[in-house]
Amino acid sequence: MILLKVDMRTLLHAQKVSTAFHGTIHTSPALRRKLWLSSRTTAAEEEDPKAKRMLNPFILDHRRKLYLKGLYLWQNTSAAAPKTCIVDLHFASLQHAMALRSASWCEMVVVQQHHASIQWSVGYYEGGKVKSVGFMFPDGPPTLGLLVDALLETFVPGHGQAEPAGKEEGRVEVAEEDGA
């Protein structure tokens, strides 16, 4: 399939050519993986807590458009310590996170080589401070939309969205700290 040979940006634009292109892209497992719309790894690879994780390069390259003030992947590579992975994702404001909810970015997986032990810190800046909440997602890699919904459900009274799969049992803590 020729669409597998084009870069991610071209493939995203190709969806707008016709409904046939859009349908082909969204129903092809290989194209969905290329666009980070589904996991790029096998279940066995995701079970390996030592596997190298990586952030979605498209989200990383466009973090300013997404109003992400912080997007970091922390991986412990020390042989002496247990392997840990923490992902920090912080929006410039809660309003920016809310505005993103209906965008197509929300369908994208944020980190590949998902593992249930990955700790997620999702938050926003308000008055020079970071308000964040921690989660773990044991049921699979979260999309940007799932992370936005988790943030809004925590900080917006009456947000009213359905609980993301695995969210309640995976909640870590709500924190407020001085922004850097």
Give tens-digit pLDDT for 73-93.
Answer: 888 766 666 667 889 999 999
Strand partners, 133: 122, 174
Domain boundaries, the chain: 1-35, 39-178
Non-local CB neighbours of 149 within 8 Å, separated by 6+ positions: 101, 159, 161, 164
pLDDT, tens digit, for every residue of 14-29? 888 889 988 988 899 8
pLDDT in tens, 113-160: 777 788 899 999 999 899 999 998 888 889 999 999 999 999 998 775
DSSP-derived letter for residue 141 is P
43-47, 109-113, 148-152, range with greatest mean pLDDT: 148-152
Instruction: Tell me the pLDDT of the chain averaged across its residues.
Output: 81
Dihedral angle at the C-alpha atoms of 72, 78, 36, 7, nearest 10 degrees? 90
